[in-house]
Structure 1
């Protein structure tokens, strides 16, 4: 089956009713409008978004709503991408690129952040599973999660050999892989790509013998080294 062109509009990713208790009409309309503005102005912060103060205040009200969370906004889109991949709309085999990002917010005074990079940097970490077609065209996000690394955990790497895999931060790589496979639910649709940070023996051995629901073949993983 030939790969389909990118078709996942925001209206497709967020169908009516996909938010459950979040399905207030104004909130869904505000979300879609804000996403369109962000697409038109990539990299622009909310306080510069759109062409009017009303648009910016609407975006702020949306993200400050107590019913809105990162995972709640992501879940409908990720489920839609998973179904599309299962149907072969990203091609017979799609690339699932896993990567981890440090979001550094040391220039802001805020609570709820942790340590990233060196001891003086504050922020949070983001791990993403991005689906791409074989020609490199981005197809959609299949999964993403954020977490904070407390400062008191610095130095725990020295005792990593004494801790089980489930108690290590590296287990998040495995959880992301399992989540992606379960959202697609079809054997052989995903070829997982990880970089050197994911060269974890436990991860590779688990993937080699994976037996996911409705998946009988081992989960394929390709590792790639950064350019010299």
Structure 2
């Protein structure tokens, strides 16, 4: 299945474009294409009537769904704004960004993460849109489905539909997803872990009062994700409390919206940091979940699931200024720009997988390449090994770590000193992709 509908050439060009973006670490089509003909190939794909954001996401989602079968999966969703303030103002078809002035659009992906080994599996879905130039009607006058906040329920529904073969699916969202309708209309087959954004009405009192009254279950250590470049994150010692609550529908909801779900049964888990470092804001997570948390171990697992949300922040950093620099794209047409964004999301996930794999692990290289390519990969890898044990691939053949070692060596890593970084991995993937393309041509096989 390729990134197009009805034209095999478009499908192959979409796959090629994603690999080139991952390999070059760029969204500049001249650099991605590597030649005039390659640049024009990228432009033709983005302009093709056979390509669309929906077709691209359907392809990426289907590939991820296949890899998620039988696994416990955390599906993290979040929204990022692409703002073109201070850049080329001539953007055709783009409405205002979040500030209401500058041209821009929004990306809301759902990212699958293995709940057990915490590795990125791939994209489940993504919604990409721009706001209308005209002012939207008042929120109170619109149905929930017509509001931007419906994207959280749509992402949840996509996870339920795409990941039906997974052993368990938990959809995770930050405070912006704290919406009553998300809990009330949750699709069957998925759990939720959502960080509470506000004190809500519950049966017998308020949410925050219930958290304070709950007896402590345990204290534990949890990782706090890096907040930006140079921040390596930290460990926080937190006290966990859990209580079952009956969440009441907000008074602001219409009678129609309350019908069938005037209240929902949930578990509230509070993680409050004990003695944070001096000058550092104390960690406080109040998590609403459909999972049970009757034991300390269950509460710890809910906190860990929420912590995995940092993976989608990593995806955004890779897509934007710290990586592919989507906001610097010179494409001016909104439709073509959104198609490029959809392909770039897949490439950003690929880059994260390759960087992660350098540290080892048993995951199959099939998460990144067609497993039919293991034979030529082995042949390439043999040419990169040296005489010493340090210069031999230490990972199991066919694993993602094994593939990452080959990629790093092609990128110039010498097996000594510090682990290969993102640039080394990108350079190596560029060379490896060319080698595999040559293999495909020589053996008359379709390159995946």
**TM-score category by the smaller chain?**
0.7 to 0.9
- Residues 1:205 and 1:153: Cα distance change in structure 2 (over 3 Å): same
Corresponding residue for 1:185?
164
Residue 51 in 1 paired to residue 34 in 2?
yes
Measure, in 2, the Cα distance between the counterparts of 1:101 and 1:124. Answer: 9
Measure, in 1, the Cα distance between the counterparts of 2:105 and 2:37. Answer: 30
Can you list the C-alpha shifts for 1:33-55, whole angstroms capped at 9, x where unaligned? Answer: 22221111123421321432221
Structure 1 vs Structure 2 CA RMSD:
2.5
Residue 113 in 1 paired to residue 84 in 2?
no
Corresponding residue for 2:149?
170
Can you list the C-alpha shifts for 1:35-80, whole angstroms capped at 9, x where unaligned? Answer: 2211111234213214322211211111112221111122122123
Question: Which structure 1 segments of 5+ residues have no match?
Answer: 1-13
With the length of structure 1 as denominator, give the TM-score of the two structures.
Answer: 0.75
Question: Which structure 2 segments of 5+ residues have no match?
Answer: 197-224, 228-280, 282-448
* RCO higher in structure (CA 8 A, sep ≥6): 1
Residue 22 in 1 paired to residue 7 in 2?
yes
Max Rg structure: 2
Count of matched residue pairs: 196
With the length of structure 2 as denominator, give the TM-score of the two structures.
Answer: 0.40
Residue 143 in 1 paired to residue 128 in 2?
no
Measure, in 2, the Cα distance between the counterparts of 1:177 and 1:51. Answer: 39
Corresponding residue for 1:84?
67
Measure, in 2, the Cα distance between the counterparts of 1:120 and 1:45. Answer: 26
Measure, in 2, the Cα distance between the counterparts of 1:96 and 1:182. Answer: 12
**How big is the shift at 1:140?**
0.8
Corresponding residue for 2:134?
152
Corresponding residue for 1:101?
80
Measure, in 2, the Cα distance between the counterparts of 1:171 and 1:204. Answer: 12
Quick one: which of 73, 80, 89 aligns to 2:56?
73
Quick one: which of 18, 40, 52 aligns to 1:35?
18
